[in-house]
Amino acid sequence: MDFPLVKVIKNNRTVEIDYMHPQEQEVVRALLNVVIVEGKTYPQKQPLSPAEFSTYWLSKDAFVVRTSGHDGTHKPKEILGAFYLKPNFPGRCCHICNAGFIVQPGLRGQGIGRFMGEAMLLIAANLGYEAVMFNLVFETNIPSITLWQSLGFEIIGRIPGAAKLGDEQVVDALMMYRPLG
C-alpha cells in the first residue's frame, strides 16, 4: 500500500493518513488523554503516561490523519485524528484485528472518522487480517455505532453495564464485527 492516503473532507480541507512518525507520538498521546478525560468513549479513567500510551497505542501499527501539504501553504502539518491497528487476540486468532480511533474534539463531524474507518479496512486487509472486531463500543456513542454500521459492521454482542462514564452513568458496551475481503 502506498502512503499517504489523501482525501478532501467536508470542510474542503485536504488531509492525509500515514503511519505515525515518532515525533508525532506526544501529540497523539495528548489527544488520546483529552478523549479519556472526556469520559465518554474509552475505558481508561486516567490520562496515560508515555509508557502506558506506548504499550496501549503503539504495540503494532499506528496511523495519523494530518493536514496535507497539498494546500499550497507551507504551514506545519497538524494532527487531526489517529488510530491504531493490532491483533485483537493472540496466536490462532490473530487474524482478527482491533482498532481504536480518536479525532480532535473541534473537528468531529467533518468526515475524519469515516476516512479513518474506510482506510483502516483497506489497511487491515492489506496487512493480512481477515476480520475486524471492536470489543467495547459504548451504547451512548451513537456517532461511532452509526459509522461502523454504515461500513458493514454488525453488533454481535452486548456487555451489560460494561462502562461507568465520566458522569457516573452506567452503560452497556457493544461488540461489533466485520469480516474483510
Structure confidence by residue, pLDDT tens digits, 95-148: 999 999 999 999 999 999 999 999 999 999 999 999 999 999 999 999 999 999
Distances (CA, A) of 122 to 95, 101, 126: 15, 15, 6
pTM for this predicted structure:
0.94
- Give CA torsion, residues 180, 116, 127, 60, to 10 deg: -130
DSSP type of residue 121 = H
Q: What is the pLDDT of residue 70?
A: 59
Residues of the chain with pLDDT under 70: 69-75
pLDDT reported for residue 74: 63
